[in-house]
Structure 1
Amino acid sequence: MIIDTHCHIYYSEMDNAEEIIRQAAENDICIILNGTDPSSNREVLELSAKYENVYAALGYFYSFADEITDEDISLLDSQLTNDKVIAVGEIGIDYYHTKDNADKQKELFEKMIGLAQKHDLPVIVHSRKAIQDTFDILKKHDVVGSLHCYQGSGEMAREFIKLGFYIGIGGPVTHKNNKKIRKMLKKIDINHILVETDSPYLTPEEKRGEKNTSLNLKYIIRKIAEELDIEEDKVIEITTDNAKRLFNI
């Protein structure tokens, strides 16, 4: 079994979502669908109820920091009791497009962490151009999880690992011009790595120009094996065990 620990394979993102989920099941791939707002969270719950190989992660994304209401928070609180929910995510902070609402982003992030603590769930964290603020917030809370599509240094990755976090490695590790991720990868132990696709985004180099799917995990696994000089089967075994341990699958 392989576990795609982060993707968005639902109808608001992909017309053929259920076909991709069925293909994943045929290839012994379990997927963790990540919601980002009330609408996508509902889709995630529906698909996780329908398919055995689908698990749910529910959360409110940074881009909704100006819109989320107390009613939305209460709704999410109730949804997190669902048996197929294994994490709070995708959540986090992102200053790439704007830092004007940084305080609201951080406030929403902390509310999401609070719900994760309440329900004893790990978090799946997005952080872009906001690594230090992300670290400072997570350090204040007793919570574990994964850093989705991690873009920081190896040194900073080790600091997150000390907090109980795993590092998500996806399609960018295969991109020819992304030496930074491959350099970082070699500075952390594989026992702290998860594989992910962020489907339909972040397509591996081999499939550039196409929508990404969980079936492309093989390219990510191949590149990790190549960079760490270990067998692909070992990458699958260890990263799957890591995901099972973190998400209690």
Structure 2
Amino acid sequence: MIIDTHCHIYGSEMENAEQIIKESAKNDICVILNGTDPLSNNEILELADKYENVYGALGYFHTIADEVTEEDISLLDSQLGNDKIVAVGEIGLDYYHTKDNKDNQKQLFEKMLNLAQKHGLPVIVHSRKSMQDTYDILKCHDVVGSMHCYQGSAEMAHEFIKLGFYMGIGGPITNTNNKKTRKMIRKIDIGHMLVETDSPYLTPQEKRGEKNTPLNIKYVIRKISEELNMKENEVVEITTQNARDLFKF
């Protein structure tokens, strides 16, 4: 089995979501669908209940930081008790598009981390142009998890690893000009890596121009195996066990 630890395969993101889920199952791929708002969280709950190879992470993303209400937080709190929900995510900080609502982003992130602590769940964290703030907040909470699509340095990766985090490696590692990520994975142990696609986004270079799907996880695995001089089946075995250890399924 291969575990795609981060993707967005549901109706509000992909019109053929259920077909893709079925194809993934046929290829022995288990997916962790990540929510970003109440709509996607509800879609994930329905799909996780319907398909054996689907698990979920529920959360509120930085994009709705200015509009989340306490009622929304209470709703999410009640949903996190579902047996097939294995993490709080996708959550985090993003200063790439706007820095105007930094405080609201941080407050929402803190609330998500508090819910993760309450439910004993790991977190799946997005951090773009906000790495230091992300780290400073995480180190003040008793949580472990995944740094989704980690694009930072090896030195910073080691700091997150000390907190109990794995580095999520996805399609960007296949990009010819992305030497930074390939250098980073050579400096950390594969025991601290997870594989992901972020479908339908971040399509590997081999399928550039197409919408990404969990079936493209093979290109991520291939590139990791090349960079670490390992067999592909070894990469699958270790990263799958890493995911099982973190997400407890």
TM-score after normalising by structure 2: 1.00
CA distance in 2, matches of 1:55, 1:72: 21
Provide, for residues 116-169 of structure 1, a one-character-per-residue CA deviation record: whole Å limited to 9, x for no partner: 000000000000000000000000011000000001100000000000000000
Match of 2:199 in 1: 199
How many residues align structurally? 249
What residue identity is the alignment partner of 1:23?
E
1:37-58 per-position Cα deviation (integer Å, ceiling 9, x unaligned) = 0000000000000000000100
Partner of residue 160, structure 1? 160
Distance in 2 between the 1:119 and 1:10 partners?
Answer: 24
Q: State whether structure 2 residue 194 is matched by structure 1 residue 171.
A: no
Q: CA deviation at 1:177?
A: 1.1
Structure 2 segments unaligned to the other structure (5+ residues) = none
Where does residue 125 of structure 2 map in the other structure? 125
Aligned AA (1:84): K
**1:189 shift after superposition:** 0.3
Secondary structure of 2:139's counterpart equals helix
Alignment partners' CA distance in 1, 2:93 and 2:206: 30
The CA distance in 1 between the partners of 2:160 and 2:245, in whole Å, is: 17
Partner residue, 2:41? 41
Alignment-derived partner of residue 230 in structure 1: 230
Superposition pairs of residues 1-249 of structure 1, within 5 angstroms? 1-249=1-249
| Letter matched to residue 133 of structure 1 | D
Aligned residues: CA RMSD: 0.4
1:69-122 residue CA offsets vs partner (Å, 9 max, x unmatched): 000000000000111100000000000001110011000000000000000000
Secondary structure of 2:197's partner? coil
SS of equivalent to 1:186: helix
Give 1:182 shift.
0.6
1:151 & 1:99 partners in 2: Cα distance?
Answer: 19
Deviations 1:218-241 (A, max 9, x none): 000000000000000000000000
TM-score (normalizing by structure 1) = 1.00
Secondary structure of the 1:140 match is coil
State, as a whole percentage, how many aligned pairs show the same letter. Answer: 76
The amino acid across from 1:160 in the alignment is F
Structure 2 CA distance for aligned equivalents of residues 9 and 175 of structure 1: 23
Q: For residue 136 of structure 1, what is the amino acid of its counterpart?
A: D
Give distance in 2, aligned partners of 1:85 and 1:171: 24
Distance 2:175 2:202 in 1: 10
Please identify runs of 4+ aligned residues in structure 1 that moved more than 2 A: none
Name the aligned partner's letter for residue 21 of structure 2: I
In structure 2, distance between residues paired with 1:187 and 1:106? 30
Amino acid at match of 2:242: N
